[in-house]
Amino acid sequence: MKSDHSFKNLTALVTGASSGIGEATSIALAREGANVIIHYNSKRAEAEAVLKKVQALGGEAELVQADLTSLVGTQKLSKFAASKTIDILVNNAGSLIARTKVLDFTPELWERVMMVNLTSAFFVTQAVLRGMVERKHGVIVNVSSVAARFGGGVGALAYSAAKAAVSAMTKGLTKEFAPLNIRVNAVSPGTVDTNYHKSFSTPAGLDGVRAATPVGRLGTAEEIADTIVFLCSDQASFIQGQVIEVNGGFLMA
């Protein structure tokens, strides 16, 4: 990305910004001049390190903690977000929670997976949209997943269903808010080398993905962040309601 500080004086809220794609997105947005609100759940020290990196790039930064597997945590973040002037929202927080086969799923686990990946993104978006509508501008980027397209690996059914709903939500939001100068898109990462896979994947599984990916490697968090920053920029002004696949050719149809 060119560094013309095109996001100067704009404030971005990035959820799940204590590591991986959210961290890289926070830093990439700060490099373009944005102030960044860094949301995290459990990794306070890591979130503080991201805060320092954003500040070192000249941006203002602040932290907000919320567990988005619960309605209480979602309401906490929504209330906080509604109290701020947010120009850019990146709904990035997400988790598989636990790789679980269909017959082992409980209603509680299903609810937690839906909350952290889908429901929280909807209600945080709703909270931010009120201000965006008043100010007549805003950009939202949702983070979906390649799993939304093929059902995910075994044990990731609920996660992939939630991410498919995130992709659908992106289009529904566009119909309602594009006329109000609020642009909504999604990025759909393939397999990206982050903490996510330390928790949920095996080395053999990742080797299988590399072998099935034309480019022959996993993605980096920075590659996803660059796409998110582009979608946030004015250069993407006519891109509306799209789900941009960034997966090294793993899935092309």
Ligand X SMILES: NC(=O)c1ccc[n+]([C@@H]2O[C@H](COP(=O)([O-])OP(=O)(O)OC[C@H]3O[C@@H](n4cnc5c(N)ncnc54)[C@H](OP(=O)(O)O)[C@@H]3O)[C@@H](O)[C@H]2O)c1
- 68 versus 139: smaller Cβ distance to ligand X: 68
Q: Which two tokens stand for residue 118?
A: 């889908």
Which of helix, strand or coil describes residue 36? strand
Q: Answer whether 141's CB lies under 8 Å from 185's CB.
A: yes
Residue 44 tokens, joined: 């306070």
The encoded tokens of residue 96 equal 């598989």
Nearest-approach distance from CB 117 to ligand X, in angstroms:
6
Pairing of β 182-189 and β 243-246: parallel
How far is 170 from 150, CA to CA, in rounded Å?
A: 18
Q: Which is nearer to ligand X, 8 or 44 (CB)?
A: 44
Shortest distance, position 59 Cβ to ligand X, whole Å: 18
Among 26, 92, 119, 167, binds ligand X (CB under 6 A): 92
Where in 185-224 is the site for ligand X (CB under 6 A)? 189, 191-192, 194-196, 221
Which residue, 73 or 133, is less far from ligand X as judged by CB? 73
Question: Contact between 87 and ligand X (CB under 6 A)?
Answer: no
Q: How far is the CB of 14 from ligand X (least distance, A)?
A: 9
Residue 19 near ligand X by CB under 6 A = yes
- Cα–Cα distance list, 199 to 29, 99, 210, 231 (Å): 27, 9, 18, 29
Q: How many CB atoms lie within 10 A of CB 93?
A: 26
Catalytic residue list contains 40: no
Residues that bind ligand X (CB under 6 A): 16-22, 40-43, 67-69, 92-95, 116, 143, 145, 189, 191-192, 194-196, 221
